[in-house]
Amino acid sequence: MIHQTRDAENKRASSAATSGWIPGQFFAGLLGVVVVIALLWAGFIYLRAARSASILNAIVAIIWGVGGIGALFYVSNTLIEALPQKSRDRIRPFLFFGPGVVILFLFLTIPTLITLYQSFFNNDTTRFVGLSNYIATFTDRSMLESFRNNLIWLFLGTGFCVSFGLLIAVLADRSKFESLAKAIIFMPMAISLVGASVIWRFMYAYAPADQPQIGVLNAVLTSLGLQPQSWLTLQPWNNLFLVAVLIWGSTGFAMVLFSAALKGVPGDLLEAARVDGATEVQTFFAIIIPYIQGTILTVTTTTAIGTLKIFDQVFVMTGGQYGTEVVGTEFYRQFFTNRNFGYGAAIAIVLFIAISPVLVYNLRQLQKQEGF
């Protein structure tokens, strides 16, 4: 079967090489491209109208998405295979990376540029306002509060996730129950932040002092003879209790990456250190930490980006009230509730700028990589 196709392709390749191009196949391919694009458009119209959730529509969507793209690749490949060798080789890469890159342009690159443009305009993009949206971003009281809270998220969230993750990875590495412990710590990664919000709202549940406490934290407090607290409205500490949800959810991510990195520390290096009389703590700081510093940097930046983009927990647990507003919820409020597009766009761009050092670093790393 495979040999047959190869033979056929050999023949086709040789005939294309001699005669330049194959008009019949070319026009068949062209027709195919037109038909597939028409079918994709028809599917788009159909799916746009399909508002009921049914397994049938999901199947149609998969056929449309996967089948349509597969068919598009196939017919355009037929088309370019009919071209002379030289142009074929030149065009082929565009066929392969084209659809994916076009989608990236349409969904991320171009919208980002439009957002940048809109950030210099008023709320319905009719009047140029210069930098005033940005000035508002850095002077508005509620925005300043968001920045302060995001810094709390950034430092505490990232700090705890990374250090807990490393601690647990090191402990698990020396334990017989490694896989069980890792599965437990990692499990919250599978849970949505909305689900985690329910879980933690229940942990923080508050009842007046004379009633039975159903939240674990307040039960601990009252059993110690202290007054129960309404954790989520307790300013400014409530931010820390929201960060705890992130730590519970994301430490598993850090741990898994560290755990993999620890496995890469050469055993004879550690053995040599022990023979030389180094203590566990010395080995940890002098050998393990330097050895996995690349992973530490990756985990730190990834978690830090996550904390800057934080939205779900805050929006679901407090709605940004009681002094817990963050940039993500502020953006949502300006954009959807207040319909202030220019201001919302400026907030999004500020968020982008805050993350851009990581972007630059990643690109530098890419430059060092072989083949690039």
Partner 1 sequence: MAMSQATAAGPRRNRVLNGILVNGTLALICLLWLVPLLGLLVSSFRERSDITTSGWWTVFPHKSYISAKQDQLTKGLALDKPIQVEGVSLTDDQLRAGYTLPDGRKLIWANRRARIVDVQTSQWTTKANFTTANYQAVVLGQTYTYKQSDGSTKTEVGEDMSKAFINSLTVAIPATVIPILLAAFAAYAFAWMRFPGRRPLFAMVVGLLVVPSQVALIPLLRAFSNLHVNGTYLSLWLVHTGFGLSLAIYLLYNYISGLPREILESAFIDGASPFTIFLRLILPLSVPALASFAIFQFMWVWNDYLYALIFLGSTPDTQVLTIKLANLIGSRGQDWHLLTAGAFISMILPLVVFFSLQRYFVRGLLAGSVKG
Query: What does DSSP assign to residue 226?
Result: P
CB of 245 to partner 1, least distance (A): 9
**Beta strands of the chain (E only): which ranges?**
none
Total Cβ atoms within 10 A of residue 249: 23
Q: Which of 32, 157, 228, 344 binds partner 1 (CB under 8 A)?
A: 344
**Which span sits near partner 1 by CB under 8 A: 27-35, 146-154, 179-187, 282-290?**
179-187
Q: How far is CA 192 from CA 10, 11, 27, 189, 196, in A?
A: 52, 54, 50, 8, 6
Q: Which of 129, 136, 219, 270 binds partner 1 (CB under 8 A)?
A: 219
- Residue 23, both tokens: 């008009």
**331 touches partner 1 by CB under 8 A:** yes
> Which sign does the torsion angle of CA 58, 61, 66, 70 carry?
positive
Q: Of 290-329, which residues contact partner 1 (CB under 8 A)? A: 294-295, 298-299, 301-302, 305, 308-309, 311-312, 315-317, 328
Give me the count of residues in the chain: 372
Backbone angles phi, psi at 120, to 5 degrees: -95, 10
CB of 113 to partner 1, least distance (A): 9
Nearer to partner 1, 234 or 305 (CB): 305
Amino acid of residue 244: A
Q: Which of 35, 38, 42, 62 binds partner 1 (CB under 8 A)?
A: 62
**202 touches partner 1 by CB under 8 A:** yes
Q: Nearest-CA neighbor of 296 among 323, 264, 257?
A: 257
CB of 258 to partner 1, least distance (A): 10
Q: Of 74-133, which residues contact partner 1 (CB under 8 A)? A: 74, 77, 81, 90, 92-94, 96-97, 99-101, 103-104, 106-112, 114-116, 118
CB of 189 to partner 1, least distance (A): 7
Nearer to partner 1, 131 or 189 (CB): 189
Q: How far is CA 68 from CA 53, 72, 74, 366, in A?
A: 21, 6, 10, 33
CB of 112 to partner 1, least distance (A): 5
**13 touches partner 1 by CB under 8 A:** yes
Total Cβ atoms within 10 A of residue 222: 16
Q: Which residues pair with 121 in a beta bridge?
A: 128
Total Cβ atoms within 10 A of residue 344: 23
**289 touches partner 1 by CB under 8 A:** no
Query: What does DSSP assign to residue 336?
Result: I
Proportion of the chain in helix, strand, coil states, percent, rounded to 5: 80, 0, 20
Q: Which of 25, 57, 233, 321 binds partner 1 (CB under 8 A)?
A: 57
Q: How far is CA 157 from CA 119, 254, 274, in A?
A: 29, 12, 34
**Which span sits near partner 1 by CB under 8 A: 34-42, 62-70, 129-137, 149-157?**
62-70
Q: Of 250-279, which residues contact partner 1 (CB under 8 A)? A: 253, 256-257, 260-261
| DSSP notation for 275-299 | HTT--HHHHIIIIIHHHTHHHHHHH
**31 touches partner 1 by CB under 8 A:** no
Number of residues forming the site for partner 1 (CB under 8 A): 129
Q: Which of 23, 70, 266, 290 binds partner 1 (CB under 8 A)?
A: 70
**221 touches partner 1 by CB under 8 A:** no
Give the largest CA-CA distance in the chain.
93
**149 touches partner 1 by CB under 8 A:** no
Q: Of 157-176, which residues contact partner 1 (CB under 8 A)? A: 164, 167-168, 171-172, 174-176
Q: Which residues pair with 128 in a beta bridge?
A: 121
- Residue 257, both tokens: 């990456």
**Which span sits near partner 1 by CB under 8 A: 34-42, 128-136, 145-153, 194-202?**
194-202
**205 touches partner 1 by CB under 8 A:** yes
Q: Of 35-54, which residues contact partner 1 (CB under 8 A)? A: 44, 47-48, 50-54
Q: What does the alpha-carbon distance between residue 64 and residue 323 come to, in Å, rounded to a whole number?
A: 46
CB of 92 to partner 1, least distance (A): 6
